[in-house]
A and B are shown apart, each in its own frame.
Chain A
Amino acid sequence: GQNIDQPTEMTATEGAIVQINCTYQTSGFNGLFWYQQHAGEAPTFLSYNVLDGLEEKGRFSSFLSRSKGYSYLLLKELQMKDSASYLCAVMDSNYQLIWGAGTKLIIKP
């Protein structure tokens, strides 16, 4: 079967750096997505990786290793507003999105 694993919950301190991991086992691969979802709000797109390596967008970076079935989302200079759930999703060979259960990130002052 197809599976996405990510930690259920993480805690970090304001101003610090946190890395949220995502491992996947899917039938084929057509890209990996990260979405951010604040409580009670819509998930919003953060990043898309289809080739190996690091993609940087301001304070957020996303890394992909296709051979290892592994990605991470790196958040730097954490702010209180970064408290949210982070959803990892992989598009398989049929262009179906397979979702992880999400990682709830709690930022403490």
Chain B
Amino acid sequence: ETGVTQTPRHLVMGMTNKKSLKCEQHLGHNAMYWYKQSAKKPLELMFVYSLEERVENNSVPSRFSPECPNSSHLFLHLHTLQPEDSALYLCASSQEAQSGANVLTFGAGSRLTVL
């Protein structure tokens, strides 16, 4: 496979469940990102990893917990979520974390519904 792959594509969970989103990139990129996309709102950056080190955490609630075990894989662990957390969660990667022409390659997203 090439590009950025996200699983699952769809997830429905209750407020007390624990689940994880997975992202995998086969591009040899050094940086990986989690974004939240809600209808008619700008993309919200959640976390950035560069060479497996977290370099950005944009005041995200602790019910979202990222994990980057290696430069190809990124997880987002979810627990005790709220209905307002329902959204499309996009993973992306880029060659470097902070550079000018930093083109992001996105996955197709995981559509999360919290009941």
Cα–Cα, bound, A42→B102 (Å)? 17
Cα–Cα, bound, A82→B99 (Å)? 29
Q: How large is the interface on A (under 10, 10 to 19, 20 to 34, 35 or more residues)?
A: 20 to 34
Cα–Cα, bound, A101→B45 (Å)? 13
Kindly supply a per-residue 1/0 record for chain A positions 6-41, scoring 1 wherever the CB is within 8 Å of any chain B CB and 0 otherwise: 001000000000000000000000110101000011
Cα–Cα, bound, A44→B3 (Å)? 11
Which one of B42, B99, B109 contacts A4 once the chains associate, using CB atoms below 8 Å? B42
**Is A42's CB under 8 angstroms from B107's CB?**
yes
For the complex, would chain B's binding face be called helix, strand, loop or mixed by DSSP majority?
loop
Which one of B42, B97, B103, B108 contacts A45 once the chains associate, using CB atoms below 8 Å? B103
Q: Which of B67-115 contact A (CB under 8 A)?
A: 90, 97-109
Interface CB pairs A-B, < 8 A, 17 = A8-B40, A30-B100, A35-B106, A42-B4, A42-B90, A42-B108, A43-B90, A43-B104, A44-B106, A45-B105, A50-B101, A91-B102, A95-B98, A95-B99, A95-B100, A101-B41, A101-B42
Q: Which 10 A-B pairs have the closest CB atoms?
A: A95-B98, A99-B42, A42-B106, A99-B43, A42-B108, A43-B106, A45-B103, A101-B42, A30-B100, A48-B101
Binding site for A on B (CB under 8 A): 4, 40-43, 45, 90, 97-109
